[in-house]
Structure 1
Amino acid sequence: MTEPSFRPEQSDLTDRATASGATIFSGVTDPAAEPAEQMLLHSSAARQGGRLPATTVDEAALFPLLQNAYGFGRWHSWCRTDKGSSNISWFVQTDAGMVVLRRSHNLKTVAGAQFEFALIEHLRGLGYPAPPVQRTQDGAIYVQVHGVLHMVMGLLPGRAYDPADPAQLEAAARGLGRYHSIVSELTPTGEPKRSSSLASLGQFGQENLYAAVNVVLPLLPTDSAAAVTRDAHYLVDRMEQLNVGLGQRQKDMRSLVIHGSYGQSAVLVDGHRLTGVLDFDRSAHDLLALDLAYALRSFCREVPIRHNGPAANPDLCRTFLRHYRSQAAPLADADLAALPEVFQAQRLVVIAKKCQNLLTKQAIVPRQSKDALNFALLLQRECARVRWLTHNPFPITEDA
């Protein structure tokens, strides 16, 4: 029987104590057991919710540790990228050339990193332009410092996406279609599971919203507190309606390994050609409609963006879908019909995550008045968006 490719036991981790006192663990894989990666791809690790308070990165201490772990020679210089909300990334110039270092958010799990690596390897093996994961000198796919995972990726060619270029919209659509075509074979093992995104709108997510509101209410002026309470009641009601409604329709909707954040910041282009797709750290088995709605909202957004306006331009959506279909299987009627509700669900999932983040941080450092005001503004903005989407659903079809 083939041994699993990834072994989380302590004996399979390289443990090195440095002069600074930091302990580094590097996740080592067994090269002889690579076929087991295919087994891993049929069972994605659930993405952990919540986020601990951000801490300052001591680059002067961190980078020498990572330089010693990787075989790139000296790390001469580095600069932070201007993208990324949950992870921190740097462009790093080394003796061996430029690489990208990513420091994952502080609740990224080893299982999540292993799944991401296996997915990237699978995609690259089929010619998809995913970034190559660089291994450490001992063959590891990541380095863990003070419990935080660090991965190094090879640099891909290309420039940032230009929303003013229609040909780049078409290239991005074909890129998502090709991705879905590749991962469509990676069906989950066992009984179909409930969408983890939709599950976050259930009782746990609703209780977290009320708990977060109870944290901020004493810190708000009276009028703001009343508005937050009204918004919370409305949002919890929509959470329950979509949790039940979409949950009942899930059996007719298609599931696969979604990218999770296929938007403008996740693609690189060279002229009219897609040269790179980034940000696979949110990939997991979930509903195709969630991936498609995320992409449509990003690539087909109305400009200027309004809180009480459509999530996407219907004409651009039809163009996107037409080019998406050139690379992917035809979309099921159930997936297309669900998109108006999925747009709403996405906004509510964001709220559920923000509430969990607030509660996680509150347990460590009590929230202040400015945090409460920011949360109140978030609820006001997202409530306006959900109300508009609820009262102005627009059907999205594949017809030109």
Structure 2
Amino acid sequence: MKRKRGKRLVLAIGAVVMALSLLSGCGADDTKEDADTISVYLWSTTLYDSYAPYIQSRLPDVNIEFVVGNNDLDFYKFMNEHGELPDIITMRRFSLHDAADLKDQLMDLSTTEEAGAIYESYIQNFTNVDGTVNWLPVCGEADGLVANKALFDEYDIPLPTDYDSMIAACQKFEEHGIRGFVADFAYDYTCMEVLQGLSIPEITSMEGRMWRSSYEDPSTDMIGLDDTVWPGAFERMEQFIKDTKIVPEDLELSYDPVINMFTEGKAAIIRSGGSNVVAFQNNNVDAVFLPYFGQDGEQWLLTYPAFQVALNKDLEKDKTRQEKALKVLSVMLSEEGQNVLSKGEAVISYSQNVDLELSPYLENLSTLMQQNHMYIRIASNDFFAVSKDVV
């Protein structure tokens, strides 16, 4: 049963799914409406606030059902096995490696304008060995190091510009009884981002790209890390742990204790995201975003998409529905759509056709963006797990 205003809330107890539909044409027959409706599964309820209503407002003639699904590819594999895969899927915790079982049921988006607009260095991370592209990244969030500038000023310690100056700063803070660096290592994603962030030059080298391509390709025998790229990454992680005096107890640190240490002046540098820099500044904490420092002297920005989006191949059976779904995709990845997601703060775009305004607190990211020193993290389920084991 629909509400008069064309919005309905559906709770599917078996799948633990909440759905919100923003539908037009409320007087239409239910059967016809279901056939015309494009289902969009969202990875989080946060997309309901402004993003979903924005998409529907730009497509008043398309019935769109927005559903909060699950941020887990196994959920969609289960739906696919039962013939219930939605028309459009969004995923945040994602890798081609984990999505391999869905490949044959997803549309090839490689010839779409949206795929063509994505910078080559990023679209290659979503390109299958056969040249097809099933998933497209929406705008990305920046991950790196965040420094408490007030502490640096108070103790007259220069802000780091490379790995050596960061370690030197940490050592000076330790002399004053202040932790130079801490992170919420209780979470696998923090372990993963620090491990990758410290070794971006190696992961993006020719050998690193070859490994990643093989790892993401389900047709190869590659099931884990290699003995060319990753031993060096482990060594750098070990050296970083020694240099920053990370101790076993730090593996229990969660988000709130780390944030409290930072805001109370008990820690000078933490691993965090650009959005937290904006939040700190809005709460009168003078925070500065720093990149990851490669031991070769280069600076890198680790990023991860706000989410990835894919379309069900079954849409190709009905050209009218396929055209509607592609219109939805176009709006989702449009400049205005990505600005709705970014809220003018800490989000960058992977598309050449999209210009997102950064917060003034993150203007130092512009140089790295111009140099194309942005890296999309590897985020397979087993990589999350092995990263925590490594730390």
Identify which of structures 1 and 2 has the higher relative contact order when contacts are C-alpha pairs closer than 8 Å and 6+ apart: 2
Q: TM-score, normalised by structure 2?
A: 0.30
Q: TM-score, normalised by structure 1?
A: 0.30
